[in-house]
Amino acid sequence: MIELLDVCYVRMGTKDIQTSTDFATRILGLEVSESSRNSRHLRSDERGHTLYYHEGDPNDHVVGFEVRDSQTLEIAAATLEDLGHDLHRGTRDECDSRHVRDFVAFREPSGLKIELVVQPEIMGKRHFPSRDAGISGFSHVGIFSQDCKRDEAFWTQVCNARVSDRIGDVPLLRVNEIHHTLALVPAGRGGLQHINHQVESTDDIMRSYNLLKQHNVPITFGPGRHPTSGARFVYFQGPDGMTFEYSVGVNKVDEETYRERQFGFEPFSLCMWGAKSNLNGLEN
Ligand SMILES: [Fe+2]
């Protein structure tokens, strides 16, 4: 069993590092924590970075998950090797560029690169965002799945994820007390579907909604409210077609008493306020 603690970063290629940096700082509201000619580390909370852009293929996506310690990483590596996954051990240089003690990389069943990470760096310096978006931190990702039932089995049986809710066959999966850290979205391919940042209040959602519209950023869903997690949200499109989300008010789950719930595959299961979804894989 692979014991995931939390999602810790996303790494993405981009066609234009400057355009992506401008979006991440001036629109999204992250802080550049490290910069090189063709890469940027970006912060959203106490961690040294939670988003990394590098010049390269925009379809090159990686999601990092933190595990407790080196022993947990070894158990995870052995489990994956037994199942026939190709593993890549992070070299010293690769660990340094990620500001982690150690990591192992593999591909989940739909093909997205996953990195299991020990001790991602925390910064003593307070997160100082480039605009007042109210971001309190990087919180979850949606990933495309070529087969939701198969991939749910990977995340829940090989890894420690639990189903909080299901919309049709689409599971919302938790690895800690937060309602979901991972959402699977049906598609004919693998990869990252959206990147979520939590904000402090519903006012932050609405302030950003107006700012996004003023900057002609395509709004793909919302403002709205998920009946599953309880979160108020807005989704919008960033560089290279990637979807970003702000949300607030996600439920926490009591592991002792919670039972997974089944929602119908219909629009009000995605938004209880009736917003229309133009999200990749979840259009209605
Ligand atoms: Fe989300």
The answer to whether residue 275 is domain-embedded is no
How large is the C-alpha radius of gyration of the chain?
Answer: 18
Q: Which of 118, 152, 176 is the C-terminal boundary of a domain? A: 118
CATH code for the domain in which residue 43 is found: 3.10.180.10
Does 130 score more than 90 pLDDT?
A: no
Q: What percent of the chain stands above pLDDT 90?
A: 99
Q: Which of 69, 92, 118 is the C-terminal boundary of a domain? A: 118
Rounded distance between C-alpha atoms, residue 48 and residue 50, angstroms: 7
Instruction: Report DSSP letters for 84-130, one per residue.
Output: T---EEPPHHHHHHHT-SEEEEEE-TTS-EEEEEE-PPB-SSPP--S
pLDDT band for position 96 (cuts 50, 70, 90):
very high
Q: How far is the CA of 194 from the centre of ligand 1 (A)?
A: 7
Express each pLDDT in 162-203 by its tens digit: 999 999 999 999 999 999 999 999 999 999 999 999 999 999
Torsion angle in degrees (nearest 10) through CA of 11, 16, 20, 22 = 150
How many domains, in total, are found in the chain?
Answer: 2
Q: How far is the CA of 231 from the centre of ligand 1 (A)?
A: 9
| Domain shared by 69 and 140, yes or no | no
Q: How far is the CA of 281 from the centre of ligand 1 (A)?
A: 13
The answer to whether residue 126 is domain-embedded is no
Domain that holds residue 72: 6-118
Q: How far is the CA of 124 from the centre of ligand 1 (A)?
A: 28
| Domain shared by 107 and 140, yes or no | no
| Domain shared by 147 and 98, yes or no | no
The answer to whether residue 123 is domain-embedded is no
pTM recorded for the entire structure: 0.98
Q: How far is the CA of 246 from the centre of ligand 1 (A)?
A: 8
| Domain shared by 103 and 157, yes or no | no
| Domain shared by 99 and 146, yes or no | no
**What is the three-class DSSP state of 18?**
helix
| Domain shared by 210 and 246, yes or no | yes
| Domain shared by 203 and 247, yes or no | yes
Q: How far is the CA of 200 from the centre of ligand 1 (A)?
A: 15
234: nearest Cα among 183, 269, 267, 277: 277
| Domain shared by 165 and 255, yes or no | yes
Q: Which residues surround ligand 1, an ion (CB under 5 A)?
A: 196, 245
Q: Where does 19-97 show beta strands of DSSP type E?
A: 31-36, 39-43, 51-55, 61-67, 88-89
| Domain shared by 108 and 159, yes or no | no
Q: How far is the CA of 245 from the centre of ligand 1 (A)?
A: 6
* Residue 234 and residue 174 in contact, taking contact as beta carbons nearer than 8 Å: no
| Domain shared by 61 and 103, yes or no | yes
